[in-house]
């Protein structure tokens, strides 16, 4: 883990050294409900407000690399076909990602971008119903930036985030009681619309 973090830090520092300028951004938005099959039943990862932020390194007029974090406060509702019981528990999704993007500049104030990102996702159950689960994750983004002046603008994007492997955990419903988690056999797909401010640092 320490070696991975060290390599990641060296990579980011090398990108920062070659970048034309740096951008800081914050965002908020909305993530839609995803229906997910689970063993012995079905479950929903509910919609909710998503917020976060990150830092972008613009290498030239056509490419940028960015590190981002996002958080969604949500709930998981699961139904067991075997016991005809339903559980509903609070949950949260945490994505921490490294992305690469291709940019198009229609004019000096507007930028359009598309790209993909890799990183990790943690599904957490704050009330202690079951242990948190962390997996590798992937995402696709498409969006725009509009600058009011040389340093401040707005950013909007559509995002699709999903774990590279199915999220673990368990759904236990039986005569001994009820505890909650999710054990999926299909990918979780989370689609979001996000918007916020972006601040340009440098030329």
Phi, psi angle pair for 17, to nearest 5°: -65, -30
The model carries a pTM of 0.80
Question: What's the CATH architecture for 2-202?
Answer: Beta Barrel (2.40)
Low-confidence ranges of the chain (pLDDT < 50): 1, 5-8, 10-12, 168-182, 184-185
Residues 137-184: tens digit of each pLDDT: 999 999 999 999 989 999 999 999 988 765 544 444 333 434 444 454
Quick one: which of 27, 18, 26 has its CA closest to 57? 18
Residues 65-74: tens digit of each pLDDT: 999 999 999 8
């Amino acid at each position: 883990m320490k070696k991975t973090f060290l390599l990641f830090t060296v990579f980011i520092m090398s990108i920062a050294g070659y970048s034309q300028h740096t951008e800081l951004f914050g965002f908020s938005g909305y993530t839609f409900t995803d229906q997910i099959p689970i063993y012995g039943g079905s479950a929903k990862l509910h919609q909710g407000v998503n917020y976060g932020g990150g830092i972008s390194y613009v290498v030239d007029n056509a490419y940028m690399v960015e590190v981002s974090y996002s958080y969604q406060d949500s709930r998981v509702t699961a139904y067991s076909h075997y016991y005809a019981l339903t559980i509903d528990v609070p949950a949260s999704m945490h994505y921490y990602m490294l992305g690469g993007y291709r940019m198009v500049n229609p004019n000096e104030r507007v930028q359009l971008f598309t790209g993909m990102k890799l990183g990790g996702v943690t599904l957490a159950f704050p009330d202690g119903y079951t242990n948190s689960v962390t997996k590798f994750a992937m995402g696709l983004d498409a969006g725009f930036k509009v600058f009011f002046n040389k340093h401040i603008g707005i950013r909007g994007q559509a995002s699709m985030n999903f774990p590279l492997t199915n999220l673990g955990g368990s759904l236990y419903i039986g005569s001994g009681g009820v505890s909650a988690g999710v054990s999926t056999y299909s990918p979780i797909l989370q689609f979001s619309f996000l918007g916020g401010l972006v601040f340009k640092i440098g030329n």
